[in-house]
Structure 1
């Protein structure tokens, strides 16, 4: 069973990584997975929350940071060392198929911390703001999903890595939103 899942994962990885290869994606996907590319969005969220919600905005930003830290801790410090899955770009059996679009790094692959962290933040913000702003749902999910997809496209994660990261992040984001709402029931 695990072998067939692994085989499917590799085949899907190659369909995305090589099969969708084009000049536009080669330019765009490395940007989308770069944390500095999203800095203006992160800054906007911080400024918006503080200006709009004053003291509650500081709590909100604090719980967003807690959400991010929790996702990163679980994905990078707990699960990755247990599973020890090699990144596809470092897998010797795939070396002739890899298109080097970004530096591979020496880290492990499963689960994707990018997917975990971004889904955690997105789901947290969706749960907090959905009653006020319904369009946050498709925007937040698309934002986290495109970053996760970019991880596969550039060759640093398998699809199962990002799907698992998305599931873990979704759970973390939901739990952290409940914590925030318990701490700030009037929000």
Structure 2
């Protein structure tokens, strides 16, 4: 397919999802796109890891694996890909001025390709889904990272292709680092100490603790909606 056709489709999808005349939705998206909004979710994932691993060696192994995922994702993207591609964000693209909506004067610094927000969200969602192996948890995490990704298009700070590449890259990094984590975990353990019970996933994570994470996730969406209403 010709690159011009791909760019045309990219812009059409961008225009379809960018902005609205709905003040609630505008405010809602601005709250959802902020990494600070999801701090309770990050802490709940940390709680889940600490509560469901037998010792600090295993806890630090998980934390280290997640940190490596995020470090590699951001280093490669911010340090190599974005400066090399140097793609302007939609809001800064001269040919799109007056067409793209700047929601609540929201803007972002740096280049557009590819989306760090998307990549980082999918790193967390995919890695923890592989770690925990629960369908409900995986569904909730994928909904979360998909919503975060769509906010970037809505706000006009990323093209759809930026988001798609962010999804692929973040997911790939999570899978690669997870299997590295698993190899180290197996070597460090005499055997896999998984609890075999209806109260635990097949990798030994408590459903009760998973419910805490899901509850925090849902409550954060409610909080974002409440903030949006107050901002109208």
TM-superposition CA deviations, 1:30-59 (whole Å, max 9, x none): 111101000011111112211221421222
* 1:88 aligned residue: 90
Q: Once the 2 structures are TM-superposed, how far is the Cα of residue 13 of structure 1 from its aligned partner? A: 0.3
Deviations 1:89-131 (A, max 9, x none): 111211202222253233100110111111111111111111x
Q: State the partner residue of 2:214.
A: none
> Any stretches of 5+ residues in structure 2 without a counterpart?
187-191, 193-202, 204-232
- CA distance in 1: counterparts of 2:165 and 2:111, whole angstroms: 14
CA distance in 1, matches of 2:40, 2:123: 19
Match of residue 218 from structure 2: none
CA RMSD of aligned residues (A): 1.5
After the TM superposition, which parts of structure 1 deviate over 6 Å for at least 4 consecutive aligned residues?
none
Contact 1:75 1:165 in 2 (8 A): no
What's the TM-score once normalised by structure 2's chain length?
A: 0.75
Partner of 2:147: 146
Aligned residue pairs total: 184
1:68 is aligned to 70
Q: Which moved more, 1:64-73 or 1:51-60?
A: 51-60
Match of 1:170?
A: 171
SS in 2 for 1:184: helix
Gaps of 5+ in 1: none
Q: Is the 8 A contact 1:87 1:156 kept in 2?
A: yes
- 1:88-167 equivalences under 5 Å are 88-101=90-103, 102-130=105-133, 133-167=134-168
